[in-house]
């Protein structure tokens, strides 16, 4: 592609101006989902392929809705129904798809770097919908948008991200995005779930939940990604919940108006108690709703729409 910004592979290379451009664009798309006819012609005639080779509920459905609300044609291919199960490589699958002239391929894959690989070999714009434990750029953007809408700013906020940091692409995208937008980010988890180099992304790491939650403006909880673990990294779910979970008592250490977030899927009673997940400080479903607007903005941007960031 002549313009490298037509892909969205990761947030790490984007500066604050580019991130804010995407957040503002997302905000401008938000009211479309409130209309009776939830459709604008922005991507009419374009084809968006949703290539999801790893489990997904929220991300896949909201990318599909986002593409449809922009009037694009969508084609959804998921792990179990694709020829990947017959041994076809990702690159071969993508080359075959490319022969059908898609404009954008949205890829979720269990290997870090797979969207980058596609972007080097395929002409379509590539959007990363989560690559292994690396990045989940649209989740980082939708979380930043949700925080900004509730707090009216990001700069100066203390954001605690607690859980399986080592396997979390959500944590990585959030750390780089929120740090670049001026937040103080503290990540917290058992030592076995804190990668040694994590602070180089622009955060502080601790294994003390109280240290992370104390006076936080936002507490973001993450799922333990057992499917990515090759060995046991903590003794039992019960012990994990006691030391790293968020229940009412732990939340009381944060600021009284602290926001509670979670990218989903939630393991109730493990990383978050049901009364906190469903409580008045939880904005988990706002995150889901904002996912559509953010993905509309990203698809629009990658299709060449709007001012360049
Ligand atoms: C996350 C993911 O898949 O990275 N979920 C999501 O996209 N909303 C987090 C997770 O699976 O725990």
Report pTM. Answer: 0.95
Dump pLDDT digits (tens) for 187-241: 999 999 999 999 999 999 999 999 999 999 999 999 998 888 877 777 789 999 9
Q: What is the structure's pLDDT at 250? A: 98
Q: Ligand 1 centroid to 225 CA: how many Å?
A: 9
The answer to whether the peptide bond before residue 265 is cis (omega within 30 degrees of 0) is: yes
Q: What is the structure's pLDDT at 180? A: 98
Q: Ligand 1 centroid to 244 CA: how many Å?
A: 19
Q: Does ligand 1 lie within 6 Å of residue 167's CB atom?
A: no
Q: What is the structure's pLDDT at 153? A: 98
**Distance in angstroms (rounded) separating the CA atoms of residues 63 and 19:** 19
Q: What is the structure's pLDDT at 207? A: 98
Q: Which atom of ligand 1 is nearest to the CA of 168?
A: 4
Q: Which atom of ligand 1 is nearest to the CA of 170?
A: 4
All structural domains of the chain: 16-134+289-302 (3.40.50.1370), 137-284 (3.40.50.1370)
- Quickly tell me which residue has 């922005």 as its tokens: 42
Longest dimension (CA), the chain: 56
For a substitution probing ligand 1, which of 130, 143, 163 has the most ligand atoms within 8 Å of its CB? 130
Q: Does ligand 1 lie within 6 Å of residue 170's CB atom?
A: yes
Reported as half-sphere exposure (CB side, CA atoms, 13 A), residue 116 has a value of 11
Q: Which residues of the chain have a pLDDT value below 50?
A: 1-3, 5, 308-309
Q: Does ligand 1 lie within 6 Å of residue 223's CB atom?
A: yes
Q: Ligand 1 centroid to 219 CA: how many Å?
A: 16
Kindly state the tokens that stand for 10. 């990761």
């Amino acid at each position: 592609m002549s313009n490298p910004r037509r892909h969205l592979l990761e947030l790490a290379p984007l500066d604050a101006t580019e991130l804010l451009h995407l957040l503002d664009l997302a905000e401008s798309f938000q009211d479309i989902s409130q209309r009776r006819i939830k459709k604008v012609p922005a991507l009419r005639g374009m084809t968006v392929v949703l290539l999801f080779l790893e489990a997904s509920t929220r991300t896949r459905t909201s990318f599909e809705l986002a593409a449809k609300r922009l009037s694009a044609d969508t084609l959804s291919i998921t792990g179990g129904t694709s020829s990947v199960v017959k041994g076809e490589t990702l690159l071969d699958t993508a080359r075959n798809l490319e022969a059908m002239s898609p404009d954008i391929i949205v890829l979720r894959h269990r290997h870090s770097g797979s969207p980058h690989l596609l972007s080097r070999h395929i002409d379509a714009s590539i959007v990363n919908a989560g690559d292994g434990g690396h990045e989940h750029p649209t989740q980082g953007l939708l979380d930043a948008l949700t925080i900004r809408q509730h707090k009216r700013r990001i700069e100066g906020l203390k954001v605690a991200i607690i859980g399986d940091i080592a396997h979390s692409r959500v944590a990585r995208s959030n750390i780089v995005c929120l740090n670049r937008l001026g937040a103080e980010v503290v990540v917290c988890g058992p030592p076995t779930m804190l990668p040694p180099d994590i602070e180089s992304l622009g955060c502080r790491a601790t294994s003390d939940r109280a240290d992370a939650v104390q006076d936080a403006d936002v507490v973001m909880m993450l799922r333990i990604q057992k499917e990515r673990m090759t060995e046991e990294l903590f003794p039992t779910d019960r012990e994990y919940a006691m030391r790293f979970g968020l229940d009412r008592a732990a939340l009381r250490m944060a600021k009284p108006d602290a926001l509670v977030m979670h990218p989903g899927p939630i393991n109730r009673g493990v990383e978050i108690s049901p009364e906190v997940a469903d409580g008045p400080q939880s904005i988990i479903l706002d995150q889901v709703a904002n996912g559509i607007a953010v993905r509309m903005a990203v698809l629009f941007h990658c299709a060449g729409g709007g001012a360049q960031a």
